[in-house]
Amino acid sequence: MEHFDRITQEPGVMGGRACIRGMRVTVGMVLNLIGAGRSVEDILADYPYLEREDILQALRYAAWRAEEREVRLVGA
């Protein structure tokens, strides 16, 4: 399992969604910004409290969560 020291999940923060360092910035928000064509530099300029590694780790976390795993069925 990956080590995600910048990704936090707390029931009282953003409904328990994965956030960046306990802030009210979700991994999903970062992904939506990148998906909309924003660069890492754009995001850092708009959110000066974020660090480059926050964004990169959000991307790695999302990739880890989305990874498909093959499960072999018994008798298959």
Block mean pLDDT (10 aa), the chain, length 76: 88 95 97 98 97 97 84 68
CB-CB contact of 44 with 55 (8 Å): yes
Q: What is the pTM of this model?
A: 0.84
Nearest-10 Cα torsion for 42, 43, 46, 49: -140
Residue 64, both tokens: 């880890």
Q: What is the pLDDT of residue 70?
A: 66
Q: What is the pLDDT of residue 2?
A: 73
Q: What is the pLDDT of residue 72?
A: 72
Q: Which amino acid is at 43?
A: I
Rounded Cα–Cα distance for residues 2 and 11 (Å): 22
CB-CB contact of 19 with 30 (8 Å): no
